[in-house]
Structure 1
Amino acid sequence: MLLWHTLATWFRRRYGKRVQKIPLDARSSCPNRDGTLSRAGCIFCNADGSGSGLGGLTLAEQWRIWRDKYTATDDDRLFMAYLQAFSNTYGPAKRLARLLDEVRSLPGCMGLAVGTRADCLDREKLALLAGCGLPEIWLELGLQSASDATLARLNRGHDAACVARAVQAAAAHGLQVCLHLMAGLPGETERDFLASLDWALALPIAGLKLHNVYVPRGTALAAAWAAGRYLPPGRDEYVDLLCAALPRIPSRIVLHRLQADPAPGELLGPAWAADKRGVITDIRRALAARNLWQGCRADVPDGRPDWYGG
């Protein structure tokens, strides 16, 4: 029995079957990497910008590799593209237009999720995304924290107000926005994380990704961790954070993720961050033991909605 509104549930209710997201690396850049804002990047960002490692291939080649892998075991599903690595709306609008043309040409592609930064969007780019013609469009924006002090520590290069403006503009264009939040950031407490969550929920968003902070190899965060200046949250601590967060989130909000997913070979610590299934099981059991579910302190206090499924 599921106690939160998963992306899988969202897709099955809309399309009647599973929808598989395929991660694509469009060899995008980032203003926080190319010197426009900084060359250091965010302190938690790895050298691949959370990419799939297939950035040397064309989008069509990457798509074919992943689609062949998934259809080998189950061909009764739909597929959508996920432009994941770095900031995919960075650069001129004509580059984004070319990317969208490539995505539309991918065989069997029914949707698109675009990962980017709030400061890499404008009206022209939002209009391109809204008008790309695919039935399922998600704009994924990294917020991480609503605290400007924390964002400065992370070397984000923008403030929370920038994110709020981007979300409002995207919603005005009819785009579904998924915000990313990180729990356990340097200098933050549970209260800070929940304050960021409440701030995000006041915006016209449709989805959330909640991430535990882990330490990726080769990052500024790794150096701080090695020097003893940063300690990532423990497994039980993160489960408790989720048990505090999920009840506040209205049932309409789609939870795209509840745990970060380290790339192979990048994780330095904590070791538990590699146990994705185990942590999800811990969250489910803790919620059930405490008689909690997504939205129980928001819009569905009387019981878990049956349509959560599971």
Structure 2
Amino acid sequence: MLYPWGDERRFNSYAGYFRRLLGGRVQKVTINAGFTCPNRDGTVATGGCTFCNNEAFTPSYCTPDKTVATQIAEGIEFHANRYRRADRFLAYFQSYSNTHAPLERLRAIYDEALRDPRVAGIVVGTRPDCVDDGKLDYFASLARDRYVALEFGIESCYDRTLRAVNRGHDFECARRAVEAAAARGLHVGGHFILGLPGETDRMLVEQTERINALPLTTVKFHQLQIFRGTPMAARYAARPEEFRFWDLPAYLDLFTEILRRLRPDLVVERFAGEAPPRYHVGPTWGLIRNDRLLALLEKRLEERNAWQGELYGATTAPRHE
């Protein structure tokens, strides 16, 4: 069976998206360009989001003392053995808020990345409160002949949750930023954390309707992971009863319900996260890689004869609470 996105997978996968868009496999190369965050440096607040530890997901070759060009070269070499089919790469600016700087600095950094002929485009991770018309117009000019995506950390559609994790912006701010970027023809991604304190399974399923209403191209979902050295880790140590964690089968069931309601054209880049065990506090799923997680999700979808968008637009209650 062919699904609306044009292949036989039961969800609109990131790999399939790039095969259709660019004709083959494309690999991300992570870059740390030395940005900080307005939620840390006092522009918005200090202390950062309570869950944030950038070191937990930044590869070892990424250090801001190296030039962007050097990090790209080392990143391509790092991935060469594992992803031999990839011959084009995306420079992925992941650490902190990668539009939190004057436009002149952004031009220098992103122009440098795009000078490498192996780089097919850039993916810029940032916050919804770190873009303005001038920056968005600059990225739109780059997108005339390269792939350019802005990936916004949204994390939750509930303002109460955003306040509780010291996010520093509300959902309306995220909506405005996504709409402004999409209006300029940019590819727009949204990142969401599933399992933040106070959010029930029903809330997580119901927020899919708000996600569907955003003009996003791609979505990332991660289960809540508590990292050492964060304010959330301290709160977990003091009040563990406020937190809940799914075992992997239960999480697969929850995400299946989200996926059944997710807009069919939304590209699912990730549905779960992984980080080195040394960073974790609290329950984990152990050492399980993303490719194995994807295989388990696809098996669960097949077992339940479910697929992305199956209930898009419906108000059917979840099968599992």
| Paired AA for residue 42 in structure 2 | G
Give the Å deviation of 1:86.
Answer: 0.3
| Paired AA for residue 265 in structure 1 | R
Q: TM-score by structure 2 length?
A: 0.87
| Paired AA for residue 206 in structure 1 | T
| Paired AA for residue 15 in structure 1 | L
SS in 2 for 1:114: strand
| CA displacement, residues 265-295 of structure 1 (integer Å, 9 cap, x when unaligned) | 3122322064234433332222111110112
Alignment of 1:117-156 (within 5 A): 117-133=127-143, 134-156=145-167
Give the Å deviation of 1:171.
Answer: 1.0
Alignment of 1:142-291 (within 5 A): 142-227=153-238, 228=240, 229-263=242-276, 265-272=278-285, 274-276=287-289, 277-291=291-305
Q: Report whether the alignment pairs 1:298 with 2:307.
A: no
Q: TM-score by structure 1 length?
A: 0.90
Gaps of 5+ in 1: 300-310
Q: Report whether the alignment pairs 1:102 with 2:112.
A: yes
| CA displacement, residues 186-245 of structure 1 (integer Å, 9 cap, x when unaligned) | 110012212322111101111110111111111112112222242333323311211101
- How many angstroms apart in 2 are the aligned matches of 1:175 and 1:159? 22
Name the Cα RMSD after superposition: 1.9
- How many angstroms apart in 1 are the aligned matches of 2:23 and 2:107? 30
Alpha-carbon distance change, 260 to 95 in structure 1, aligned in 2, over 3 angstroms: same
SS in 2 for 1:178: strand
- How many angstroms apart in 1 are the aligned matches of 2:100 and 2:219? 22
Gaps of 5+ in 2: 1-7, 314-321
- How many angstroms apart in 2 are the aligned matches of 1:49 and 1:92? 27
SS in 2 for 1:103: helix
- How many angstroms apart in 1 are the aligned matches of 2:288 and 2:193? 17
Identity within the alignment, %: 36
- How many angstroms apart in 1 are the aligned matches of 2:108 and 2:121? 16
- 2:37 corresponds in structure 1 to 30
Alpha-carbon distance change, 238 to 9 in structure 1, aligned in 2, over 3 angstroms: same
SS in 1 for 2:44: coil
1:52 to 52, 59, 71: 59
- 2:316 corresponds in structure 1 to none
Question: Is the contact made by 1:25 and 1:52 (CA closer than 8 Å) also made in structure 2?
Answer: no
| CA displacement, residues 10-34 of structure 1 (integer Å, 9 cap, x when unaligned) | 1111222110011111111101111
- 1:9 corresponds in structure 2 to 16
- How many angstroms apart in 1 are the aligned matches of 2:74 and 2:288? 25
| Paired AA for residue 78 in structure 1 | R
| CA displacement, residues 61-110 of structure 1 (integer Å, 9 cap, x when unaligned) | 11111111333462652111100000000121222111111111234111
SS in 1 for 2:311: coil
| Paired AA for residue 247 in structure 1 | R
- How many angstroms apart in 1 are the aligned matches of 2:140 and 2:276? 30
Give the Å deviation of 1:50.
Answer: 4.2
SS in 2 for 1:131: helix
Question: Is the contact made by 1:214 and 1:273 (CA closer than 8 Å) also made in structure 2?
Answer: no
- How many angstroms apart in 2 are the aligned matches of 1:282 and 1:195? 24
| CA displacement, residues 153-191 of structure 1 (integer Å, 9 cap, x when unaligned) | 110000000000001111111111111111111110012
- 2:3 corresponds in structure 1 to none
Question: Is the contact made by 2:56 and 2:279 (CA closer than 8 Å) also made in structure 1?
Answer: no
SS in 2 for 1:199: helix
